[in-house]
Amino acid sequence: MRVLGMIMAGGKGERLFPLTKERSKPSVPFGGKYRIIDFVLSNFVNSNIFSSYILVQYLSQSLIEYLRTSWPTQGISRDHFLTVVPPQMRLGEHWYRGTADSIRQNISLINDFNPDLVVIFGADHIYRMDISKMIDFHIKNKADVTVAANVVPLKEASAFGVMAVDDNNRIINFEEKPKNPHPIPGNPKNAYISMGNYIFDKNVLLKILQQKYCDIPSLDFGKNIIPVILKTHRTFAYDFPSDKLAGLRPYEEQGYWRDVGTIEAYWQANMDLLGENPKFDLNNPHWPINTSVHNLPPTSYLGGTVENSMLSNGCVIHPKTLIKNSVLASNVVVMDGAIIEDSVIMDSCVIGKNCHIKKTIMDRFNNIPAGSKIGINHEDDIQNYYIDPSGIVVIPRGRTKFL
């Protein structure tokens, strides 16, 4: 079975501003040492999918440089590759106009590789998934199209694209943000929502994009294609939470999947990594999340207290400090007497003496002056920083020559 991966990594991430002021959403750092795109790339590699194109678009240079320095771009054969593809504008002088249009503009890549299946995934979610099991499900059901489906409470489903299925999980209705979502058969309190990840038989995909939808400018899989092919194509929902992933611990949330599309969701997903029994445990040697390898020294603890936190390599923690319920990336320096609580601090930041930082997301390369109070007094914060509607303080990326 010949499989080609197409990873849609052009997300603008407007709701993550100012973290996306100078980078695309997939390039945003996460969990101390990762980028958001590392999760989908790791899922592909761990699922033995080694032939993938990454479709980039908005503010893509940071992502391109990260991939160049962090991920091997070529394997042991010509069919093992990870290739970044900027918009080619083959169909006119315009950018991608939807998820399906991004694939339509790169049909030549599919024709050249000539796969049996095309696996089309987004690059802006936090999760682990064995895609090979989804492929097995697709083949077993002789499907033309398979959509990855997550299970959410019925009362929350209206915020997503909802799939109604029959007893065999064949999709019989697909609706974006319905007022009255359909429950799962035999599971009346929950609904299937689309994760925005698809498997297509190659010939089916090409026929749809080249014939039926060749003249529609803006084209999205969830809005334009999936809802109207249900009667003409065998389209199935793959139950993602039923994916029994190797190394998953009993305390983890089964089917953990987060769209970190808002500041609050991004902050909460980082917090989900913490605790004795985290909802999403990064320590899984059976399904590692790969990332860049920096030649950094171990973290240096010179004193202070660290509670329920994650600290990456190269940090320096000075005496009389308190770090609590926080995620620190690489090369963070915390000076004497500083307090960091409920915060996400990205790499190469310096927290000055006697600072107090609470419920804050701090982007890279910031140098916080001694005695600063951030996240403590709303009136002071609003004069100096970006305040998310959730109340989380966000400090944009500091100035540096690096990306």
Residues 83-96 have pLDDT tens digits of 999 887 665 566 67
Are residues 55 and 167 both part of a single domain?
yes
pLDDT for the residue numbered 89: 63
Least-confidence region, from 9-23, 32-46, 153-167, 274-288: 9-23
Q: Is the pLDDT of residue 220 over 90?
A: no
This prediction has a pTM of 0.94
Question: Higher-confidence residue: 287 or 72?
Answer: 287
Are residues 209 and 346 both part of a single domain?
no
CATH of the domain at 389: 2.160.10.10
Are residues 199 and 125 both part of a single domain?
yes
pLDDT for the residue numbered 262: 95
The pLDDT-based confidence of 310 (bands split at 50, 70, 90) is very high
Q: Is the pLDDT of residue 243 over 90?
A: no
Q: Is the pLDDT of residue 401 over 80?
A: no
Are residues 357 and 253 both part of a single domain?
no
To the nearest whole number, what is the mean pLDDT of the chain? 92
Are residues 19 and 118 both part of a single domain?
yes
Strands (DSSP E) along 96-170, which ranges?
117-122, 125-127, 145-153, 161-165
Are residues 11 and 65 both part of a single domain?
yes
Does residue 286 lie in a domain region? Answer: no
Q: Is the pLDDT of residue 278 over 50?
A: yes
pLDDT for the residue numbered 57: 87
Q: Is the pLDDT of residue 101 over 80?
A: yes
pLDDT for the residue numbered 116: 98
pLDDT for the residue numbered 402: 38
The pLDDT-based confidence of 288 (bands split at 50, 70, 90) is very high
Are 38 and 127 within 8 A, CB to CB? no
Radius of gyration of the chain measured on its C-alpha atoms: 22
Q: Is the pLDDT of residue 306 over 60?
A: yes
C-alpha distances (whole Å) from 150 to each of 24, 158, 255, 265, 267 are 25, 13, 7, 17, 21
Amino acid occupying residue 360: T
Are 386 and 369 within 8 A, CB to CB? no
Are residues 46 and 104 both part of a single domain?
yes
The pLDDT-based confidence of 218 (bands split at 50, 70, 90) is confident
Closest CA to 202 of 284, 126, 118: 118
Are 46 and 290 within 8 A, CB to CB? no
Helix (H) / strand (E) containing 197: strand 190-201
- In this prediction, residues 325-335 reach a mean pLDDT of 97
Does residue 270 lie in a domain region? Answer: no
Q: Is the pLDDT of residue 217 over 90?
A: no
The dihedral through the CA atoms of 226, 230, 232, 238 has a sign that is positive
pLDDT for the residue numbered 86: 86
Task: Give start and end residues of each alpha helix (H) in 275-377.
Answer: none
Q: Which residue has the tokens 């689309």?
A: 194
Q: Is the pLDDT of residue 403 over 50?
A: no
Strand, coil or helix: 222: helix
Are residues 35 and 139 both part of a single domain?
yes
Domain housing 17: 3-264
DSSP per-residue string spanning 30-89? ETTTEETHHHHHHHHHHTT--EEEEE--TT-HHHHHHHHHHS--B-SSTT-EEEEE----
Q: How many domains does the chain have?
A: 2
pLDDT for the residue numbered 336: 97
Are residues 227 and 318 both part of a single domain?
no
Tokens of 21: 């002021």
Q: Which residue has the tokens 């052009």?
A: 10
Q: Is the pLDDT of residue 176 over 50?
A: yes
Does residue 288 lie in a domain region? Answer: no
Does residue 269 lie in a domain region? Answer: no
- Averaging pLDDT over each range in 67-71, 248-252, 377-381, which range is the top one? 248-252
Strand, coil or helix: 332: coil
